[in-house]
Structure 1
Amino acid sequence: MRIFENLNKSAIRGATLGLLTLTGGVASMPLATLAEPVHGIAIYGEPALQQGFAHLPYANPDAPKGGTIRLAEPGGFDSLKPWVLKGNAAWGVGVHVTESLMMRSIDEPFTLYGLLAETIEVAPDRHWVEFTLREEARFSDGSPVTVDDVIWSYETLGTQGHPRYLAAWSRVDRIEATGPRSVRLTFTEPDRELPLLMGLRPILKKAQWEGQDFAASSLEAPIGSGAYVVDQVEPGRSISFRRNPDYWGRDLPLMAGVNNFDVIRYDYFADANAMFEAFKAGAVTVWRELSAQKWASEYGFPLMTDGRAVQAEIPNERPSGIVGLVMNTRNPAFADWRVRQALIEMFNFRFINQTLNGGADPRITSYFSNSVLAMQDGPATGRVAELLAPFAADLPPGTLDGYTLPEGSDRAMDRAGVRRAMALMAEAGWTVQDGQLKNAQGQPFAFEILLNQNGTAMRSGSEVQQIVNIYVEALRPLGITPRITLLDSAQYIERTNNYQFDMTWYERGLSLSPGSEQRLYWGRDGVSTPGSRNWMGIDSPAAEAMIDAMTAADTAEDFTAAVRALDRVLTAGRYVIPVSFSPISRLAHAADLKYPEEIPMYGDWPGFLPEVWWQETN
């Protein structure tokens, strides 16, 4: 298994595989590598690629340039600014148009290599980080990327940008130029993770945005330093990016075999069904199939049978993350863990998975399942138990002594689950009265399930609706009839950003090298601050303490224990009703589109498609 082969090369690095969420791990690195400028930096040990490497291992340096790839997105867009909270930004702008000082390798656990920055230097105690810009770095209009642009970008994103930038910026004491091409960030206190996170901020052109309300949504095409420029835009319908022939970084080793298409186009559709029909008609050249059952049974259409398109399965070595129906504990009805457990009991995953997916994919069993960081079966032991012990009195049952999801039934009604759910609801003060679940005051247990009619990154809108419809029927014996509300993407984003829902569909990719971004996911600031990823409204001192322990860990063992403890707090908190996950990506694509034989650790993940694909022409 490649993970363990990598572990042999760097014994502790592989214990914390990274996720491409622009987050990182927490362990210290040898002081010798921190005391001088270097070409790259890894969370544990040294970067796998030494100074002077030829190309990324998962890129084909001989890949031909040219051609067009057409991808599909659900919903629409009304903004070209993915760095602010307002508006629904078009996908691809932050990926193809702008760049950061450092670039991740998706074949290594949170390793960064210099992109706009020629070198990175970090203080031995990680109290500061310094980047030196490449002299040749240019924006697409030919102007140089300057230290002034870097400082303005960091300050503006940190104070006016999307909330995902704010937490890290609050730990920066000052940013200053230390030379004509160098910039240093000094932190409020030594921090093991911030030097890497700071290397991943997008660098924008100050002259374009200065004097404007940066927090406002905009359809103005950003000027970036990336390999592509915005080409054609039909708001809400399509956006295309054209490769810049004068791209400053085209000869960097990082870019060998990368950015091969002349044009990358994203077309927007009302829903997944329309997207799939567009692929069948040849209007879209790549389709990511989310249903194992459809993958096996519904690909007999002409495009496939005559060889114009093929099916590919891309493996990965990343964790499952958490996907399913999230309960908003800001709603008093969901504040009781017994209520949440009862609703989990009523979700008959076994029946739903068999009915909709042929039972092909396994269930998510915890937030870090399918990984070495997942909580272990049975009672907490060793360092995990020690970390959780101070919070034992306030933790829900199962956190310390072990928690598992109900097995479910092959039949639509899981009678054993219904009995357990009724008992839990009764303990929480809810009983069936005149066919309805009510409290002692006679108030019915009622809630809304909010859904995006356009679907999500991992599930089509129709599949989510099918899951929810089966679930709603299963709730009837308990005297509960939820209200289902379907919204378009813009309305859905507005409501979820402001936590205006009771239950909704939730998808969060999680890392095997998690760091301070976990506060954005589960931190108490997200209970009231709009735009966080803490949709469930977690306010848990235990979760905060486990994140602190994770980010302060000096060894892989302590780090792993802290994440496993956090996994217990989150899973036994019963905030999400989890569904299935797939250890592979299923991609149907035009036969003339190719990808390298060497698959990166993260598989089909940002940085892979379309970055290292190419088009072969006769």
Structure 2
Amino acid sequence: MTRQYISILAAAVLAFLPGVTAAEPAHGIAMYGEPALPPDFDHLPYANPDAPKGGTMVMGESGGFDSLNPFILKGRAPWFLGPWTVETLMARSIDEPFTLYGLLAESIDTDEARSYAEFTLRPEARFSDGNPVTVEDVIWSFRTLAEEGQPRYAGAWSKIASVEQTGPRSVRFTFTEADREMPLILGLRPVLEKAQWEGKDFAASSLEAPIGSGPYVVEDFEPNRYITYRRNPDWWGADLPVNRGLYNFDHLRTEFYGDQGVVFEAFKAGSLSIWREENPARWMTAFDFPAVQDGRVVMEEIPHHRPSGMHGFVMNTRRPVFDDLRVREAMILAFDFKRINGILTGGTEPRIESYFSNSDLGMTPGTPAPKDVSDLLAPYRQTLLPGVMDGYALPSTDGSNRANLRRAAMLLSEAGWTVEHGRLMKNGTPFTFEILLPQGAGETATIANIYIQALRRLGIDATLRSVDAAQYSQRVTNFDFDMTEILRSFSLSPGNEQTLYWGSSGANQPGSRNLMGMVDPAADAMITAMVRSEDPAQFNAATRALDRVLMSGRYVIPFWYARVSRIAYDRAFHHPDRLPLYGDWPGFQPDTWWYAP
């Protein structure tokens, strides 16, 4: 399983929602307007309700795990353990920008202002041990996740003024401030069984899997080697319309390997069912092995309509070497995108030019801010970085990158750095830094090595440091790096998760995803404007304004993105012909797939 897909999952779990206009229970909620599907819908449009049940899908992933609790900071848990075994109050449709339909909850009630959200649980909802899902479980889960779980759960809880049980199966959350996304965020919170954790430390890493109500349970595992999930034959939700045609495999299994190269070899040998190829050049040249030639392996490109997100090298501004805007711009100039893209992808992929490239949410680089965007940014004009209003654009290259290196050298000189005996120095200290990557980073390590060679032409001594998965996770959690890889995948409805990524409150909070250490009141205000927007036009303007602030900060050296997902898989596996809006996104594979030899 690729890191791109894992990141997409993380983003999908964090996204945006709007809603009903009347204060009465509804079967679903959308960020703006009404859900596309009526209350009596039979199945999601991209699911096959006649899909056969059975078979095993085996996936591969580089790295490992030493914990089975995916909701806490300590330990490293398998990425898909949560989504496959633990359910939420509502389920997302990946065929709409941001719409949820009832799952554990049979209905949601809110008002026009989204000042509260009330959920009513289904009476038949059960955990895998047979115990009913109760309001007490919901309240305990939300509070415990916020107080002892990963930092991403705390933000929403801080906006809850009160929680009350309003009926045998109903719970109401009243909010402290306007935030149209809050009902949707709560709808996507995991619900755990309170009784399992009596007398236990929830925040302690362990190999005890949470008891959930989802379609699968953990059947067998060996840390850092494999984990197998078994479809629960007594799963309470199998016949719900939102689940009909989904979760068709009897078993799902993830095998763990040292690096992505080994994972690919395992797929070629027939040990794995599916492979996602992120390199278009390799897609064209490396799939000539016998299983492809004789038709046992199918190659498919799946289009999507989602934003590019951001993928590249992020600079840690907590480090003095990167707290100067001119230095960060010089780092971007030194990155020869044209050459690296040519080597790694054959030059086929477009560069990420904004955090929301490939969508209407992104800014137009190199152009002045339109009035609706400039009006939002106007109160912060005195503190905005150069390029926000004018529209910062990444440097172009002539193929040699010499001109950009000259510009980089000038900026470094302005920042007080001078070349002495071939080394870039400032106050007697050389310009040195480390690019931290996990072992098995593969393609990203190749990019780093090419980049390091270019930096030497400026007198900069950069080194690549590869560490094991556990050490990498610990160091990133504690911001103990100079530069590392960043991968943020976005939906068409970004919202409160943007605070976790870029918010000032997380700049020095261990475990937050604000890797660059960004502190910018304008960014905080634009995120607030996004979640308080009352219509798509306001939302788009706020998102484009945020995009301008992020790009002008020069925090990331962007790579490229793909307009399609490239997947190869055993021909015994199938998916519906009708593809969802988000394409190959969490909720598509393995959820909609089935086995038919």
TM-score by length of 2: 0.97
Letter in 1 for 2:138: V
Equivalent runs, 1:40-79 vs 2, <5 Å: 40-79=28-67
SS in 2 for 1:341: helix
1:31 positional shift = 2.7
| Distance in structure 2 (CA, Å) of the matches to 1:130 and 1:527 | 33
Q: CA deviation at 1:210?
A: 2.1
1:418 matched to which residue of 2?
Answer: 405
Which 4+ residue blocks in structure 1 deviate beyond 3 angstroms?
Answer: none
User: Counterpart of 2:387?
Assistant: 398
Separation of aligned partners in 2, 1:516 and 1:143: 33
Q: Do structure 1's residue 611 and structure 2's residue 591 form an aligned pair?
A: yes
Gaps of 5+ in 1: 1-17, 455-460
Question: Helix, strand or coil for the counterpart of 1:152?
Answer: helix
Distance 1:507 1:417 in 2: 25
Offset of 1:30 from its aligned partner? 5.4
Distance 2:273 2:292 in 1: 12
Opposite residue 23 of structure 1, the aligned amino acid is A
What residue identity is the alignment partner of 2:436? Answer: L
Aligned-pair CA distance for 1:517: 1.5
Cα distance between partner residues in 2 of 1:250 and 1:550: 36
In the alignment, the residues of structure 1 paired with residue 112 and residue 310 of structure 2 have an alpha-carbon distance, to the nearest angstrom, of 36
Query: Does the residue aligned with 2:347 lie in a helix, a strand or coil?
Result: coil
Structure 2: how far apart are the matches of 1:192 and 1:172?
Answer: 13
> Of the candidates 527, 531, 534, which is equivalent to residue 507 of structure 2?
527
Range that drifts further, 376-385 or 421-430 = 376-385
SS state at 2:484 partner = strand
Code of the residue aligned with 2:402 in structure 1: it is R
**Matched letter for residue 200 of structure 1:** L
Q: Offset of 1:19 from its aligned partner?
A: 6.1
Match of 1:279, SS state, is helix
Asked if 1:450 corresponds to 2:433, the answer is no
Answering whether residue 140 of structure 2 is matched by residue 152 of structure 1, we say yes
Separation of aligned partners in 2, 1:193 and 1:571: 25
Matched residue, 2:535: 555
Task: Tell me if the contact between 1:346 and 1:421 (Cα under 8 Å) persists in the aligned partners.
Answer: yes
Does the 8 A contact of 1:20 with 1:106 survive in 2? no
Name the CA distance, whole Å, in 2 between partners of 1:221 and 1:406. Answer: 48
Distance 1:180 1:450 in 2: 52
Matches within 5 A, 1:194-233: 194-233=182-221
1:540 maps to what in 2?
520
Provide the C-alpha distance between the structure 2 equivalents of 1:111 and 1:313, rounded to a whole number of angstroms. Answer: 26
Residue 434 of structure 1, aligned match among 413, 421, 429: 421
User: Which of the numbers 12, 23, 31 marks the counterpart of 2:21?
Assistant: 31
Q: CA deviation at 1:481?
A: 1.5
* Contact 1:351-1:409 at 8 Å conserved across structures: no
**Post-superposition offset of 1:44:** 1.0
Whether contact under 8 Å (2:178, 2:532) holds in the other structure is no
d(CA) in 1 for partners of 2:271 and 2:44? Answer: 31
Match of 1:385 among 357, 370, 374: 374
CA deviation vs aligned residue, 1:430-453 (integer Å, no higher than 9, x gap): 1111101111x1211111110111
Give the letter for the 2:126 counterpart: R
Q: Aligned partners of 1:210 and 1:571: how far apart in 2?
A: 47
Query: Retained in 2: the 8 A contact 1:80–1:222?
Result: yes
State the 1:22 CA deviation. Answer: 2.6
- SS of the equivalent of 2:380 reads helix
Shift of 1:603: 0.7
Percent identity over paired residues:
57
Gap runs ≥5 in structure 2: 1-9
Q: Which has the larger displacement, 549-558 or 503-512?
A: 549-558
Could you tell me which residue of structure 2 aligns to residue 12 of structure 1? none
What is aligned with 2:3? none
The answer to whether the Cα contact below 8 Å between 2:20 and 2:30 also exists between their aligned partners in 1 is no
Q: Is 1:518 matched with 2:495?
A: no
Q: How far apart, in 2, do the equivalents of 1:31 and 1:265 lie?
A: 43
Secondary structure of 2:419's aligned partner? strand
Structure 1: distance between partners of 2:356 and 2:383 = 22
Give a deviation string over 1:68-118, Cα, whole Å, max 9, x none: 000011110001101101000112210110000100000001100000001
Please report how far the alpha carbon of residue 281 of structure 1 lies from its aligned counterpart in structure 2 after TM superposition.
0.6
Q: How does 1:310-325 map to 2 (within 5 A)?
A: 310-325=298-313
Per the alignment, in what secondary structure is the counterpart of residue 229 of structure 1? strand
Residue of structure 1 aligned with 2:110, choices 103, 122, 126: 122
After TM superposition, give the deviation of residue 423 of structure 1 in Å: 0.5
Residue of structure 1 equivalent to 2:355: 367
How many residues of Structure 1 are paired with residues of Structure 2 in the alignment?
A: 587
Structure 2 residue aligned with 1:132: 120
